[in-house]
Amino acid sequence: AVDEIVWQGKALLNKKASPPMVLVRKDSLRGGTEIFIYSKIFDGLFAISTSVIDQLGFTIM
């Protein structure tokens, strides 16, 4: 959605450091939590990300 692009774009424009960057916000419309991960690509990135999300008790949809 447009608001997601704006949220992520603002964060990328305002960042002062190199990746990684993780943003988290509640999504009141859908009743969930949005997580935006900005990182250089490396082997295992998806597996590590989903493992941490699972360890925090979040459900991935």
Residue-wise pLDDT for 12-41, tens only, equals 998 877 788 999 998 767 778 889 999 999
- Whether residue 61 is contained in a domain is answered as no
Which residues are within 8 A (CB) of 25 and not within 5 positions of it... i.e. 6 or more apart? 7, 33, 34
H/E element holding 54? Answer: helix 45-55
Rounded CA separation 11/29 (Å) = 21
R_g over Cα of the chain: 13
- Whether residue 16 is contained in a domain is answered as yes
- Whether residue 49 is contained in a domain is answered as yes
- Whether residue 60 is contained in a domain is answered as no
- Whether residue 21 is contained in a domain is answered as yes
The full length of the chain comes to: 61
- Whether residue 35 is contained in a domain is answered as yes
Domain range holding 48? 2-55
- What confidence score (pLDDT) does residue 50 get? 94
pTM of the model: 0.75
